[in-house]
C-alpha cells in the first residue's frame, strides 16, 4: 500500500507540474492584460474625475495592500493625514472612509437616508436568499422589513412587564447553564477556551425566541453548525476582496476558495432555519403565537398590508439568529479575557455583587441601577475592544456632502467606528482600559459617556436588536461574575491578539473557573 501511495504521489506530482506549466503562463498573461486595462482606465478616471483627498491608489489592486491585517487602525492613521473624510480605492471600487464622531454622525444621523444604502456586493447577495435585512439596500420594502423585525423583537423582549420577565428568564436560564458548563470544564483547575460555549449560549437564546426550543452545549450537530457560522464574518467584513475585486472568481486562488466556502456555509445555515420555519408553517395556528417565527409568519403571510412576500419569513429569522449570536458571543469573549487580564477589576465587581445581590439569589435587571460599575465595565469593554471596528459597508442613495466634501450617489462608504471609540480628543488615554471613565462624580453611570460608545452603528442602519443584545450581555456578565471566579492560565498569560472580520475576535482565550459560594439555579426558560 505504501508503494502504491508513493507511485501515485509521483504520478500526481508529474501531472501537477504539467498542468502548472500550461496554466501559469495563461494566468500571467491574463494578469498583465487586466493590469494594463486597469492602468488605462485609472489614467482616464484621474483626468475626468476629481478625487477626494486620499492616498495614491495602484492600478488593479488600489490600496488593498496598504490596509494590512487590521484595516480599522490603518484607516484611522490615514485620517490624520487626509482628514476625517477621504477616499481609498479597493480593486476598481472607489471607497469613501468616514472617521471621527463629527463626520460619522453628520452622515448617519443628519443625512441618514442618504447614507442608508448597501453596495451591490456579491457576498451580500448570497445571504438569506438576497433578502437579508442587514445586507439589502434601502427602499420602502426595506423599511417595512425593519419595522417588522423591530416590532417582533420588542413584542418578545420588552413590550410589557410579562414579556420582559419571560425574556429575562430565558437569558438567566442560559447564563446558569453556562456557569455549570464552565465549572465542569474548569474542574480540577483545568483551563479551557470558552469561545464556542458563548456562541452556543447566545444562539440558544435566539433559538428559544424564534423556535421555542434550545439545544444542549454538547449537541454535536448544533455545535458543528455554529462552528461554521462563526466563520461567516471572515468574508462579509469591510473590504472583502471578492466584493471589490470580482475578477478573483475567474481563476483558482485562496480568495475564490474562501468565497465558495462562505456560500456553502451560508446555504447550510439558511437550510437549517428554513427547515424550522417550515415546521412552524405546518403547525401554524393563527390564534396561538408560540414564538417569533409564528409572529413573523402571521405578520407576513396572513397580513395583506405587510408589503413582504413569504420568503422574507426565513430571511428575518435567519437575520435575528445570526446577528444576535455573533454580537453577544463576541463581546462576552472579550469580557472574560479582560476580567482575567485585570483581576483587580474582577475583584471590585465581586465585592459590588456581594454587597448588592448577596449569596442567596442571582442578579436581575432590577439590580442594574445599583450596579453602575458593572455597566461601566461593560461599556469600557465595548469601547476598548471596539469589536465591530468598521460597520457593514454603506452606500449613498443620493449626491451628498459631508464636512464640505461632495460624495456622489452609489458611492461605497466605510464607517470606522474604531476611530470614534479611540479618539484621544474624546477619551482620556483611549489606549488604557479604565471602566471608571463611565462613572460620574457621584459614582453613578455617566449616560452621556456611555452614549458616546459606537458599537451598534447609529442612524437608520443601527442594529435592530441592540437593546436586546445589551440586556443579554448585562445578565450573562452579572450571573457569571456572581457565580464564578475566573482565573488565567499560569502557563499562558492573557493576550489581546485578535483576528479581523465582521467583528474582532480574540485569537485564543485560556481561562479557569471556580465556584464562588453556592451554585444557584438552574432557571428554566419560560
Whether the per-residue pLDDT at 14 is higher than 50: the answer is no
Mean local confidence (pLDDT), 363-389: 97
Share the mean pLDDT of the chain.
86
| Within-domain flag for 101 | yes
Q: What one-character DSSP code corresponds to residue 117?
A: B
Q: Are strands 93-99 and 412-416 parallel, antiparallel or unpaired?
A: parallel
pLDDT confidence of residue 526? 40
pLDDT digit string, tens, across residues 485-523: 999 998 888 889 998 888 899 998 999 999 998 898 765
CB 352 within 8 A of CB 371: yes
Q: Which CATH number belongs to the domain containing residue 387 in this structure?
A: 1.10.630.10
Of these ranges, 45-49, 75-79, 256-260, the one predicted with the greatest mean pLDDT is 75-79
pLDDT confidence of residue 10? 38
| Annotated binding-site members | 463
Task: State the Cα–Cα distance between residues 340 and 403, nearest whole angstrom.
Answer: 42
| Within-domain flag for 37 | no
Reported confidence tier of residue 221, pLDDT bands at 50, 70, 90: confident
pLDDT digit string, tens, across residues 334-360: 999 999 999 999 999 999 999 999 999
Beta bridge partners of 394: 413
Task: State the Cα–Cα distance between residues 503 and 195, nearest whole angstrom.
Answer: 14
Whether the per-residue pLDDT at 191 is higher than 70: the answer is yes
| Within-domain flag for 27 | no
Task: State the Cα–Cα distance between residues 312 and 293, nearest whole angstrom.
Answer: 11
Task: State the Cα–Cα distance between residues 439 and 446, nearest whole angstrom.
Answer: 5
pLDDT digit string, tens, across residues 193-218: 999 899 999 989 988 899 988 888 88
pLDDT confidence of residue 127? 83
In degrees and rounded to multiples of 5, residue 248 shows phi and psi of -65, -15
Q: What one-character DSSP code corresponds to residue 107?
A: I
3 state SS of 262: helix
Structural domain containing residue 498: 50-515
Distance of CA 507 to the CA centre of its chain: 15
Mean local confidence (pLDDT), 258-264: 76
Mean local confidence (pLDDT), 268-297: 92
3 state SS of 86: strand
Mean local confidence (pLDDT), 44-68: 77
3 state SS of 194: coil
pLDDT confidence of residue 524? 47
pLDDT digit string, tens, across residues 97-151: 999 999 999 999 999 999 999 998 888 887 887 889 999 999 999 999 999 999 9
Q: Which helix (H) or strand (E) holds 70?
A: none
- C-alpha distance from residue 253 to each of 33, 247, 257, 310 (Å): 18, 11, 6, 38
- C-alpha distance from residue 189 to each of 184, 195, 486, 515 (Å): 10, 18, 11, 11
Whether the per-residue pLDDT at 33 is higher than 70: the answer is no
Whether the per-residue pLDDT at 305 is higher than 70: the answer is yes
The residue with greater pLDDT, 351 or 19, is 351
For the four alpha carbons of 306, 310, 311 and 312, in that order, the dihedral sign comes to: positive
Percentage of the chain beyond pLDDT 90 is 60
Q: Which three cell numbers stand for residue 468?
A: 436586546
- C-alpha distance from residue 296 to each of 144, 309, 320 (Å): 12, 11, 11
CB 92 within 8 A of CB 57: no
3 state SS of 205: helix
- Among 67-76, 156-165, 257-266, 309-318, whose mean pLDDT is lowest? 257-266
| Within-domain flag for 6 | no
Whether the per-residue pLDDT at 29 is higher than 60: the answer is no
pLDDT confidence of residue 25? 54
Reported confidence tier of residue 9, pLDDT bands at 50, 70, 90: very low
Beta bridge partners of 85: 98
What is the Rg, in whole angstroms, of the alpha carbon atoms belonging to the chain? 25
| Within-domain flag for 439 | yes
| Within-domain flag for 259 | yes
Q: Please give the tally of structural domains in the chain.
A: 1
Q: What one-character DSSP code corresponds to residue 127?
A: G
- C-alpha distance from residue 427 to each of 46, 102, 380, 455 (Å): 39, 14, 11, 15
Q: Which three cell numbers stand for residue 380?
A: 469600557
Distance of CA 63 to the CA centre of its chain: 24
pLDDT digit string, tens, across residues 163-182: 999 999 999 999 999 999 99
Task: State the Cα–Cα distance between residues 34 and 498, nearest whole angstrom.
Answer: 35
pLDDT confidence of residue 16? 38
Reported confidence tier of residue 268, pLDDT bands at 50, 70, 90: confident
Q: What one-character DSSP code corresponds to residue 94?
A: E
Task: State the Cα–Cα distance between residues 349 and 484, nearest whole angstrom.
Answer: 11
| Within-domain flag for 228 | yes
Task: State the Cα–Cα distance between residues 521 and 452, nearest whole angstrom.
Answer: 36
Model confidence, pTM = 0.87
pLDDT confidence of residue 490? 87
Whether the per-residue pLDDT at 250 is higher than 70: the answer is no
pLDDT confidence of residue 251? 67
| Within-domain flag for 40 | no
Mean local confidence (pLDDT), 29-53: 55
Task: State the Cα–Cα distance between residues 509 and 507, nearest whole angstrom.
Answer: 7
| Annotated binding-site members for heme | 463
Whether the per-residue pLDDT at 411 is higher than 90: the answer is yes
Reported confidence tier of residue 17, pLDDT bands at 50, 70, 90: very low
Amino acid at each position: 500500500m505504501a508503494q502504491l501511495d508513493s507511485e501515485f504521489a509521483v504520478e500526481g506530482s508529474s501531472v501537477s507540474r504539467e498542468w502548472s506549466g500550461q496554466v501559469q503562463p495563461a494566468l500571467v498573461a491574463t494578469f498583465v492584460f487586466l493590469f494594463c486595462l486597469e492602468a488605462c482606465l485609472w489614467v482616464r478616471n484621474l483626468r475626468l474625475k476629481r478625487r477626494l483627498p486620499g492616498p495614491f491608489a495602484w492600478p488593479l489592486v488600489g490600496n488593498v495592500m496598504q490596509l494590512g491585517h487590521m484595516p480599522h487602525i490603518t484607516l484611522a492613521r490615514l485620517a490624520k493625514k487626509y482628514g476625517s473624510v477621504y477616499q481609498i480605492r479597493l480593486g476598481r471600487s472607489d471607497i469613501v472612509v468616514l472617521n471621527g464622531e463629527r463626520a460619522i454622525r453628520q452622515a448617519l444621523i443628519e443625512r441618514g437616508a442618504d447614507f442608508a444604502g448597501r453596495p451591490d456586493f456579491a457576498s451580500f447577495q448570497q445571504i438569506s436568499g438576497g433578502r437579508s435585512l442587514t445586507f439589502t439596500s434601502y427602499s420602502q420594502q426595506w423599511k417595512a422589513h425593519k419595522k417588522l423585525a423591530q416590532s417582533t423583537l420588542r413584542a418578545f423582549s420588552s413590550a410589557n412587564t410579562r414579556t420582559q420577565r419571560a425574556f429575562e428568564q430565558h437569558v438567566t436560564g442560559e447564563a446558569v447553564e453556562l456557569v455549570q458548563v464552565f465549572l465542569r470544564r474548569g474542574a480540577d483547575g483545568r483551563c479551557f477556551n470558552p469561545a464556542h460555549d458563548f456562541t452556543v449560549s447566545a444562539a440558544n437564546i435566539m433559538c428559544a425566541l424564534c423556535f421555542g426550543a434550545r439545544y444542549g452545549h454538547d449537541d454535536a450537530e448544533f455545535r458543528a453548525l455554529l462552528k461554521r457560522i462563526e466563520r461567516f464574518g471572515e468574508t462579509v467584513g469591510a473590504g472583502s476582496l471578492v466584493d471589490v475585486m470580482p475578477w478573483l472568481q475567474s481563476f483558482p486562488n485562496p480568495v475564490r476558495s474562501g468565497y465558495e466556502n462562505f456560500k456553502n456555509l451560508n446555504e447550510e445555515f439558511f437550510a437549517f432555519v428554513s427547515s424550522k420555519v417550515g415546521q412552524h408553517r405546518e403547525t401554524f395556528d393563527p390564534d396561538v403565537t408560540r414564538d417569533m417565527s409564528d409572529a413573523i409568519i402571521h405578520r407576513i403571510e396572513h397580513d395583506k398590508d405587510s408589503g413582504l412576500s413569504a420568503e422574507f419569513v426565513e430571511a428575518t429569522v435567519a437575520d435575528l439568529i445570526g446577528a444576535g449570536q455573533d454580537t453577544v458571543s463576541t463581546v462576552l469573549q472579550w469580557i472574560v479575557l479582560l476580567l482575567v487580564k485585570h483581576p483587580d477589576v474582577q475583584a471590585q465587581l465581586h465585592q459590588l455583587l456581594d454587597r448588592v445581590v448577596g449569596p442567596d439569589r442571582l442578579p436581575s435587571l432590577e439590580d442594574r441601577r445599583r450596579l453602575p460599575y458593572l455597566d461601566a465595565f461593560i461599556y469600557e469593554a465595548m469601547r476598548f475592544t471596539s469589536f465591530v471596528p468598521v460597520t457593514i459597508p454603506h452606500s449613498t442613495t443620493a449626491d451628498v456632502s459631508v464636512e464640505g466634501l461632495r460624495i456622489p450617489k452609489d458611492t461605497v462608504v466605510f464607517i470606522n467606528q474604531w476611530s470614534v471609540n479611540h479618539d484621544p480628543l474624546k477619551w482620556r488615554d483611549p489606549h488604557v482600559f479604565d471602566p471608571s471613565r463611565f462613572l460620574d462624580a457621584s459614582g453613578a453611570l455617566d449616560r452621556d459617556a456611555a452614549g458616546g460608545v459606537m458599537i451598534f452603528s447609529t442612524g437608520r442602519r443601527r442594529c435592530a436588536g441592540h437593546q436586546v443584545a445589551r440586556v443579554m450581555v448585562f445578565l450573562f456578565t452579572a450571573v457569571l461574575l456572581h457565580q464564578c471566579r475566573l482565573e488565567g492560565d499560569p502557563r499562558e498569560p492573557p493576550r489581546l491578539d485578535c483576528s479581523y472580520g465582521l467583528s474582532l475576535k480574540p485569537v485564543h482565550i485560556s481561562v479557569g473557573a471556580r465556584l464562588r459560594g453556592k451554585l444557584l439555579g438552574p432557571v428554566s426558560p419560560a
